[in-house]
Amino acid sequence: MVDTAVAIGVEKMLEVDTLTSTAVGGRGGNYLWEFHMFGTSFAAYYALFATAHMAKFGTTEEDLALVAVKNHKYGAMNPKAHFQREIKVEDVLKSRVVARPLKLYDCCPISDGAAAVILASEEKVKELKVEDPVWIEAIGFSSDTSSLSRRMDYVGLPAATQAAQMAYKIAKVGPKDIDFAEVHDCFTIAEIMAYEDLGFCKKGEGAKMIREGETYIGGRIPVNVDGGLKAKGHPLGATGCSMVYEVTKQLRNEGGRRQVPLKNYVALTHNVGGHGFYVYVMIFRR
């Protein structure tokens, strides 16, 4: 066992063209039964979730666009974001279709990026007299099948719900105690499903949260105020560490003009592998 460690996340995705990147990504889904036979990209996977969510709960393309608008707003305030330009709902709606109902601005970009986290044991933190540590209160984890044929439905990620429940139990907190969250918004629908899977609202009410501005700074629970995967970018291997970076800055009140109000000094990250093959939910406290 070590008492200090550095976790480094890094990804260079821009060296190949979009169709190659999409194929490499899509093969990371279910290869044989889905990619091989039907050409499923990750945009297509999340589009399947979006169609089902819209049919079951009345979520609209405008609701999806609102997520992109919010995350671009914060991306525009983040000098480390890939996209630093605000957009409007109509920009999203008019952007070209990628996988219906998802359009270009519903999708995270293909990005290069890196982030690192220094981890230390409680003893080491005390020994080194670290001035302002941020503590990992809980790591919740769960996994699921990669085959959409074996999912019960397409309106959420069960692994996210299970991982969140585990994390809340370990940290002895509930969704109401979370000051702000970083969630895996690889596509706009993913953020809406995350609100629900993490218990920020009831299943089916995710769209209502974004419509009512509850996930903006000043809202009930700000989400992805660094721009999220959507605007900050999603260099796969670096995304998790970049979430921890943002949470650390925010919990230390170093968020600058993107600073969220802190009540309990408790934050949550939600990171998804595949379309919910595995999900980690971490809870942090300062």
Partner 1 sequence: MAAQERPTIRSRPLTLVHEIPIARIKRFWDGLKEGKVYATKCKKCGQLYYPPQVDCFKCLGSDVEWVALSDEGVIETFTESHLKPQGFTHYEEPYIIAIARTPEGAKVMGWLEGISADKARVGLKVKITTTIKPDGYPAIVFKPAETS
Task: Point out which residues bind partner 1 (CB under 8 A).
Answer: 15, 19-20, 22-23, 25-26, 32-35, 37-41, 43-44, 47-52, 55-56, 96-102, 147-151, 153-154
Question: Shortest gap between Cβ of 100 and partner 1 (angstroms)?
Answer: 4
Nearest to 272, CA basis, from 151, 115, 143: 143
Question: Shortest gap between Cβ of 134 and partner 1 (angstroms)?
Answer: 32
Of residues 26 and 227, the one with the C-beta less far from partner 1: 26
Question: Shortest gap between Cβ of 262 and partner 1 (angstroms)?
Answer: 35
Of residues 28 and 273, the one with the C-beta less far from partner 1: 28
Of residues 107 and 164, the one with the C-beta less far from partner 1: 107
Question: Shortest gap between Cβ of 260 and partner 1 (angstroms)?
Answer: 30
Of residues 46 and 168, the one with the C-beta less far from partner 1: 46
Question: Shortest gap between Cβ of 142 and partner 1 (angstroms)?
Answer: 17
Of residues 50 and 281, the one with the C-beta less far from partner 1: 50
In this structure, the chain runs to a length of: 286
Torsion on CA atoms 149, 153, 155, 156, rounded to nearest 10: -80
Question: Shortest gap between Cβ of 149 and partner 1 (angstroms)?
Answer: 4
Of residues 35 and 168, the one with the C-beta less far from partner 1: 35
